[in-house]
Amino acid sequence: MYAVFEPVKRDLHLSDAQLGWLGSAYIVVLSLAALPLGVIGDLRSRRSVITFGVAIWTASTAAGGFVRRFWQLFTCRALVGFGEAGYAPAAQAIIAQYYRGRRRAFAIGVYSVGMALGGVLGIWFGGVIAERYGWRWAFIWMGFPGLILAVLASRLRELDRRPPPPILETLQRWWQHGMRGVMYYVRPLATCAGIGALLAGFLSLFEGIPSQFGTAVFGVGMSVGIAWTVWRLVPLAVRRTTEAGAVAAGAFDDFQNAAILVLRTPTLIWVFLGGAMVTFAVNGLIAWAAAFMQRMHGLSVARVGGEFGLWALAGGVLGALVGGRLADRLQQRWRGGRVLASGAGFVLGAPVCAALLLVHDLRWFAPLILATYFLYTWYNGPLAAVILDVVPPAVQASVLGAFVLFSHLAGDALAPPLIGYLSDRTGDLRTAMLLLPAVGLLGGLVILIALQTVARDMRRVTALDIHVSGQG
């Protein structure tokens, strides 16, 4: 989305306030929907939640290429966040099933390489496609191929649950039951968004009313629709669990008991707080990188991707892999190894990121962007692994969903508008963006506080597992 801000603004005649809504729609919906979808994944089928998420976000991305109004594009971007919310927590929980020991952080690091690939290639290819064919084709080309991934996701095997049905049976079930189920949850969002769009359109007829007011009215309608949709998701998990009988009901009781235990886990407090700060730094940098290069160095988005995208991609991939491997090696010798790797990357990376923003000579830019992405992606695997290490297995996807909720709402959902506000006030985007490495440094230090608590919390979870096994 950030790669095509300018052409979207020109084509749809949007204000900067409306562009800000488009940038935050994905993050806010992702944050709100991650927790209930994580609960459903724990209680029902993580494979189904992943498949649903991939299908929703790819279809919504492609649909963004056909919009004609602001509210239509806003709805598409919001649904992209809904799809991602179904994917990430359940995906990491499945990885945790396969890698229960010393390789867990590295395995999640391999998974997080996809985020590094998507973050760089999305802006790069999106800019190239938009310059050559128009911004609409950028959404279409990036969207439709992902539907193939939805079919592949339906073949994922969960170790503690029955294998997936044949592909033909899966497709038949999607056709017979999928649309009805999707419409039940999409209808509140579509209804409230439609009402908000009608009111905003009506207000736009009056010259004395600023466009920001209409945007706010539409935003209120969307917020009500999102809250209504999320409200419907949690009863789904409870209802289907009850219908499954005594075994499932017992699992839900275990979930409630484990949730109480999680709230008493000190390590999670530091991880949640520090995680919000580091996501603020990372995603704030991603959000404003293209605009920074255009304003400060006079480069187009396509040229930025071509000249520096590979350096950022290399740094992100190497950082995710090295961070995961380093965390697992340290964890073999010391229970705080994964915490150390999670926080150290931001403590070491803060001065490098500041230098990246302050440098004027582009000859230094490539090595600095390589080092920044390298250090800022160390945390991807280790931080999720820390959460999984101190949380009972029955609620891992749920807790990861709660982490997504908190870290995004308190972190990167704030970064784009806050940096934009500071840029407007100071008149200098570079000065505003220097807040990012400062917050990242503070987040890394907060995560490192968990070194004092992680060993005790891991022993508590181990004792709980032994107690549950003994009862079984």
Q: What is the pLDDT of residue 336?
A: 87
Taking the C-alpha atoms of residue 72 and residue 55, their distance in angstroms, rounded to an integer, is: 19
Residue type, 93: A
Q: What is the pLDDT of residue 249?
A: 42
Taking the C-alpha atoms of residue 270 and residue 390, their distance in angstroms, rounded to an integer, is: 12
Reported residue count of the chain is 472
3-class DSSP state of 210: coil
Domain boundaries, the chain: 2-471
Please give the biggest Cα pair distance in the chain: 72
Looking at mean pLDDT, say which of 89-98, 230-239, 299-308 comes out highest. Answer: 89-98
Q: What is the pLDDT of residue 202?
A: 67
- What is the DSSP annotation of 97-153? HH--STTHHHHHHHHHHHHHHHHHHHHHHHHHHHHHH-HHHHHHHHHTTHHHHHHHH
What does the pLDDT look like over 125-171, one tens digit per residue? Answer: 887 888 888 889 989 888 888 888 888 888 887 776 656 555 555 55
* Window from 243-247, 259-263, 333-337, 354-358 with minimum mean pLDDT: 243-247
Taking the C-alpha atoms of residue 93 and residue 397, their distance in angstroms, rounded to an integer, is: 5
Class of domain 2-471: mainly alpha
Taking the model in full, what pTM does it have?
0.68
Taking the C-alpha atoms of residue 6 and residue 458, their distance in angstroms, rounded to an integer, is: 48
Q: What is the pLDDT of residue 131?
A: 82
Mean pLDDT along residues 292-297: 80
The CB density around residue 439, as the number of other CB atoms within 10 Å, is 22
Distances (CA, A) of 211 to 8, 16, 69, 199, 205: 17, 10, 14, 12, 10
Cβ–Cβ < 8 Å for 77, 432: no
pLDDT tier, 250 (very low <50, low <70, confident <90, very high otherwise): very low
Q: What is the pLDDT of residue 258?
A: 43
Q: How many Cα neighbours within 13 Å face the side chain of 80? A: 24
Q: Which 8-state DSSP code applies to residue 472?
A: -
**Angle between the 104-133 and 70-98 helix axes, to the nearest 10 degrees?**
150
16 membership: H or E segment, kind and range: helix 16-43
Cβ–Cβ < 8 Å for 251, 241: yes
Q: Is residue 211 scored above 80 in pLDDT?
A: no
Instruction: For residue 383, count CB atoms less than 10 angstroms from its CB and return exposed for 0-12, middle for 13-18, buried for 19 or more.
Output: buried
Q: Which 8-state DSSP code applies to residue 165?
A: P
Taking the C-alpha atoms of residue 281 and residue 240, their distance in angstroms, rounded to an integer, is: 39
Q: What is the pLDDT of residue 246?
A: 38
What does the pLDDT look like over 69-88, one tens digit per residue? Answer: 887 888 888 888 888 887 87
Q: Tokens at residue 89, please? A: 């927590």
Taking the C-alpha atoms of residue 212 and residue 32, their distance in angstroms, rounded to an integer, is: 24
Q: How many Cα neighbours within 13 Å face the side chain of 320? A: 19
